[in-house]
A and B are shown apart, each in its own frame.
Chain A
Amino acid sequence: MTSADYIHHHLTNLHTGQGFWSVNWDTLIIGWILAALLIVTGWRIGRRLEQGAPKGVQNLLESAVEFVSTQVSEIFDGRDPLVGPVALTIFVWVFLMNAMDMLPADLLPMLAGAAGVPHLKAVPTTDLGTTAGLALGVFLLVLHANLKVKGVGGYLKTFLFHPFGKWLMPINIVMTLIEEISRPLSLALRLFGNMFAGELVFLLIALLPWWIGWVPGSLWAIFHILVITLQAFIFMLLSIVYLSMAHRTEHD
């Protein structure tokens, strides 16, 4: 097996179907497993919350909630009970999916191979489907907030009179359209690009001889702890910012 084959193998999803209509089962299933992990943990903790000093997992979850809550209250000035849960979900779920990158690059594919599964991409956020799905979800929420706060007419008006006033209406339409579309696009591509590149670097390191591979491997893994956290944080923060902007009625 050549190096190119190795990398190509590792970057191929377990999929059925062709082209756009192919379903990447590994992305979906690992995403579900991580979501289920969050659900089960949250459910077990949520059933018996400690009113006093929190311990263990509850403490961890409370820290996450408090962290996200602080960000939301600092950025978001509207009133929407969904923003906090959305931000928390993005942060934790993206973090968990990113964290799959911390497992040895070959571990899950080899186990899957032993079980007869030909391909397995362990990190769901290295699949554009995941990042675009999240970004599209945020986009729909932003759209919904825009329509709810500004009304259909008010929202369409921002396309006409923003950002240059009524005399440059055609340019305004183009500019606002680009602005609206570039947000989910940049959200999706930023996370995808970072995680994909990170995974690729791990694969390249895995191709090094065994007696030297651990040096760059360890360094990159340590650096990557920062990257996975930071990317989850950025995705969450930008989602809050976009939602907050959608809730603002008068910009100028």
Chain B
Amino acid sequence: MNLTVTLFGQMITFAVLVWFVRRVLWEPLTALMADRSRRIEDGLTAAERGRHQEELARAQATKLIREAKSKAAEILAQAEERRAEIAEEARREAVQERARVLAAATAEIDHKTAQARERLRAELGGLVIEGARRVLGAEIDGARHGALIDTMTGAL
């Protein structure tokens, strides 16, 4: 257990080991760890920023949804209004159509009635003349009394 020249051997080992530890362990590892801690810091900052952005986006989304809802409500109201308008228009048109059809039918009826009356009148004149002729023989001449008969049937 005396101090021996081993001392110098161990000093050399120590020196070599220090050199090696510095080159291979200390410098790369401290650089790596500094780099990593910077990256972690960056990551935390980014996460914080992301959280903030998410908050903003959430607020934006809420706003958009609210706007969309009010717009949808507006559109619904407009549609309701339009529906009422269309229904009203249709009703009005239907009423007009009914009136028109009614008028046409009435006119047709009047026309047919007039025609029938005209034909009836003509037939009746003929029948009256025929009957009178049969009663009176050749007393009444169609050519001579035609104006009279016309006047009579006209009064019908």
Chain A residues packing against B (C-beta within 8 Å):
11, 13, 15, 17, 19-24, 27-28, 31-32, 35, 38-39, 42-43, 46, 49, 51, 61-62, 65-66, 69, 81-82, 84-86, 88-89, 92-93, 124, 126-130, 132-134, 136-137, 196
The minimal Cβ–Cβ distance linking B86 to chain A, given in whole angstroms, is 68
CB within 8 Å for A28 and B1 given contacts A49-B28, A65-B26: no
> Please, how many angstroms separate the alpha-carbon atoms of A17 and B4 in the complex?
10
Report yes or no: A88 in contact with B6, Cβ–Cβ below 8 A. Answer: no
The minimal Cβ–Cβ distance linking B54 to chain A, given in whole angstroms, is 25
CB within 8 Å for A22 and B4 given contacts A51-B32, A89-B21, A133-B14: yes
Report yes or no: A130 in contact with B35, Cβ–Cβ below 8 A. Answer: no
CB nearest neighbor in B for A85: B22
Report yes or no: B7 in contact with A133, Cβ–Cβ below 8 A. Answer: yes
Query: What interface size band does chain B fall in?
Result: 20 to 34
Chain B residues packing against A (C-beta within 8 Å):
1-11, 13-18, 20-22, 24-30, 32-33, 35-36, 39
> Please, how many angstroms separate the alpha-carbon atoms of A23 and B26 in the complex?
31
Report yes or no: A137 in contact with B22, Cβ–Cβ below 8 A. Answer: no
CB within 8 Å for A129 and B3 given contacts A51-B36, A61-B29, A136-B11: yes
Report yes or no: B25 in contact with A88, Cβ–Cβ below 8 A. Answer: yes
A82 surroundings in chain B (CB, below 8 A) = 18, 22
B24 surroundings in chain A (CB, below 8 A) = 39, 42-43, 46
- Which 10 interchain pairs have the tightest Cβ spacing? A129-B6, A133-B10, A85-B22, A133-B11, A24-B6, A85-B26, A129-B7, A46-B24, A133-B7, A42-B25
